[in-house]
Each structure stands twice: as structure tokens, then as C-alpha cells.
Structure 1
């Protein structure tokens, strides 16, 4: 079975699977998921824990040897396999499949793979893990999902968040879940259990949000102008190179322009039906294409060429201002009053 991070605790309360694969690029959730599984295993009598650290030189026979070895200190053992590479390779895949073919009820296998390549989830060994045990894939929480999770977290420490509290916390800590957890822990230490009002946080809550480059295009695709400018502001404050921001915007615009051209010609839009592209992104692209004309996309690509010249010192103008204009137009579906279009 496949689980989201916020589904894991309920699943563990119903019983343990023979093995778990925890993967993804969100460090806090990855560590928290592993901790929850370890604690559930300990409650079920898996009191001995053996750790296998995999790297490029790892001997995969060690997994079978650990599974076959009797525990010296208890009747049940947790085998924790930490994957340090993006792919398991032929031997690794075969070793995991062999374990899945004969799982021992006295062993629980926990595979932790923070750097696992997404394509590996389509491999035979990963599908076998999913059919026999549980695959927990973690990725950054966003939007309403993040707000709901923070609200639940506040309630779990005895605080009752009032209107807007979880939303403000999500805004200030998006992309940095550890900072959000630390802020909640700080509030727990400073306050007695009970209501937590928005006024209690205002002025005392640091802005710890962290965004990557693709957060910018994600926000623009969904048409959220305010969020788009906030992401751009945070990227600039963190010292992100303007040329990288230009690259990600131009890349998105070229993809959209190609899709818009294909749609206008009656052909299938690039990316449609691509199993490798997340469904949420496909849906966001479709919505964006409904408000972005081919003419506008060509104009924005032209602006990107002017920004490139500005970054190289071949044209006047502030590159960051020009980037803000392009990003806003992409989100809004056109150039808006108050943001004049740079001409050269």
C-alpha cells in the first residue's frame, strides 16, 4: 500500500506491515516517519534494532544474512536499511525482492531512502515493496494540507488555534517544516494549554519560509499573484542568482508556449498523458493555458531575452524588477496596471 505522511500514524495504529519504504526530499517528515515506525515496532515487541548503511560498495548479501540471523536479545528484530544512493542497482533490487518473497514475522524491515530517484518507484522491487508492505513517500506540504497539518500539530500539544493562526504559521514557515515545529514547541513552552489567538503570534513570529525555484513557477501557474511575488522576494533575500530565476521562468514559458501552439493546431499538448509528470502539475498547466494566450507567452519570452541582456550588462534596468513583471504577468494572465512592461 502507498501512504502519505499524514496517513501513517492511523495506519500504524491498525497494525504493522512486514516492511516499510520511506523516501522523499522533505527532511523533517522523513525523520518523523521513521521515528513513528520505530516507536510502533518497539510497542509490538521489536526491541532489537540492526542498522545497515548502504553505499556504492555495500554487500547486499548482508540484508539476507541479517534477516536469517536469530536475535540475541529478543525474539523480534527491526532491520533498518539506510539507502545512500539514488538507485539500488540490479543486486539491490534483487535482494529487496528476495526479502519480500519470504518476510519473516519476527523481523520488520524499514528502508529509509532520502535520495531515491523518482524513477526507482516504478521499478519491480519498489512495486513489490508496495504490494507486500507500505511505501511512504514524503514531499513538502503545501496550501490547505500544510494548514491542516499545523492545526492538528497545535492541537496535539494542547493549543487551540483560533481563526488565522494556522494560516499565518503556514505562510511564515512554508518550505521549512522544522521551523514550524520549533515555533509550535516554543508556543507550548511559553503558554498554558488553551486558546491561541492570532494576536498572540503577530509581532513574535519570525519569517522562516524557504522556497526553491520551482515554488515560483508553481505559484504562477496557479494564478496566485501575491504568493508569486512573495516567493520571488524570499528567493532574492536568500541570495538566489537572478540568472537561475530567469532560467526557471523561461523554461516554464517555453513549455507553456509549446503546449499552447500544439493546442491551437489541434495536437496533443506536450506533457499530456505523461505518467512521469505529477497529475497536479498537469492540471495546473491546463488551467494556466486557459488564461494565457500564445501572443502573451511569446511576449513574455521576449521579456526574458531582455532580462538576460540586463543580467549580462548589455541593457539597462534592474533584472529583479523585470523578473517580477514577467512572473506577475504569468500569474495574472497578462500585464497589469502598475507594472509597466520594460521595453528595452
Structure 2
């Protein structure tokens, strides 16, 4: 190879690297510009005290030795308790609007599911939906003195289904009503996530291995996640909220902060349990109690057809599909959710 040829190749390589670097820099600038423009829009929720509501803090040690963080709120002597079960990679703080709206009239129990929020990390083999159902049974036994309503979002709804499967005797006398928000009774592994069918199959084929690899490198990934906060903001805004153009940037930041606070290893530990979740048969246990099912019509993570399948198995349930709404329904449409929960509570107070 002649010196001239070598120089030409080096020059071409340098140009390619320079062009790639320029492309990356331009993409980063475009991303920052887009996020900056979003944050400059009028934000009605800018002064909302997210993460600042506090109750009477308690700790429950489960039968397998995991310390769960629990908060009690509202009047201690209220005749009805509402128990809130949060979703995957979230925390009890995700119920901010519902807590704020209902705490004056009802006794509230909010808890961080194992490995989430301020609860203790569990081992991978203890990160199962059935175990979450057992945790909920223990929380009810310790912190709910009278009748209650259960409210579950996403994985929290699955926790309620696991409770129904493993502790059916609680439903009827103790548990008077149930609300299932943006959740599923199973077949999450068949989700398309809005992708073409062929591409969706490829994603599902490689996802388990990819998630497992992420879990093994979780500590390293967690140290670098803050660097991608703008990207995480845009993904959360797009995937979590149906009306993403008008959603409050403060609300998106709040949701993204909960997701980012969840260790990557926890994300990986629970992923197989979510994909294998199948509790359609357990829904019969809910049939005797009033049940509200709510889902956003733009929810890609637990699509409306999953809520329709649950409603078909529970003909007495009230199904509400909320327009222009995605997975984080309790944060995106708090008024609609709060009204539904109040109506449900009033039905069992009579």
C-alpha cells in the first residue's frame, strides 16, 4: 500500500468519524432544544408539591423477611379504607393526586411494593407477582382494621389479581370493591408496542436476553442513567402520556424521577414475572364486589384490549376507556380517576 493510499484512507476515516461526531452532536443539540422548548411552555403543575405529601410512616416485615414501607393517611377512624398498589418501576408517590383528593374523607393505606420506592430490595427469585399478592394480604391484615377498597395501577393491578388467586376469602366481607387501572390479566408478552408485527416479534425474542444482560450490569448502568435524563424525559412523555403535547413537564419529570430511582436490577428481576403473568381465571373472585376498570385509549403498555378482556370476564364491572390518555392514567387524568374512585367508595358505603 502506497503512502498516498494510506493517507487517503486515513483522511476518509477521519472524515467519517468527524461526520459521525457531528451527527451525534447535532442530535444531542436537537434533543436539548426540543426538551428546552417543552419546558418553556406554560406549566399549570409547576408548583404542585410532588413527593411532599406525608402520612404516618410504618414498616412491615413480610413473612419472607422483606421490609415494606407503608404510609397511613386520612382520618384514622374513617369507616372505609382505600389501599393503593402502585405500578412497575414506580412508587407510592405515583398516587399523589388521589392521595391529595381523598385523604380528607377516607383512611388511606399506601405502600411501596418490594424492591420499589423505600421498601427493601428482594432477591430475584422473590420478585414474583404471586409474592406481591402475599405481601398485599399481609399489609391488609396489619393495617386495615375494617372494610376496604383496593386500587391497583399496572403491576399493582396484577398484585390484586394475585391476591384474589391466593386469598379469595378476603373478597366480599373485607374487600368491598376493586379498581383496576391500566393493567392486564396476562399475555403481556404479545404486546406490539405500536410496532409492525414482524418487528414486534423480533423485539420480544431478544428482550429477555437483553433485560437479563442489563440486570447483570445494573450497577454500572445506574451510575450513568442521569446522563440520559433528557432522553428519558422524552421517552416517558411519549410512552406514558397520551396527550403528550399538552402534558405538564413537571408531571413528566415527576414520573421519570420515579422510574429512574428504580434500580436497573429491579427492572430486570420483575420483567419475567410480568411477561408470564396470567390471572384471567382469578378474576371470578372479583365478580361479587363492585369493580371499576379504567384504561387510556392510547395505552401501549397495557392496551385497551386487555381491559376489555377483563371486563368480559367480569360482566358486572364498569369499564371506562379514557380518550387521549396513556399508561400513567392516574397522573395524566387525575380528575377522571378521582371521580371514579369516589363513586366506587360511595357504592360500598351505602
TM-score (norm: length of structure 1): 0.24
TM-score (norm: length of structure 2): 0.24
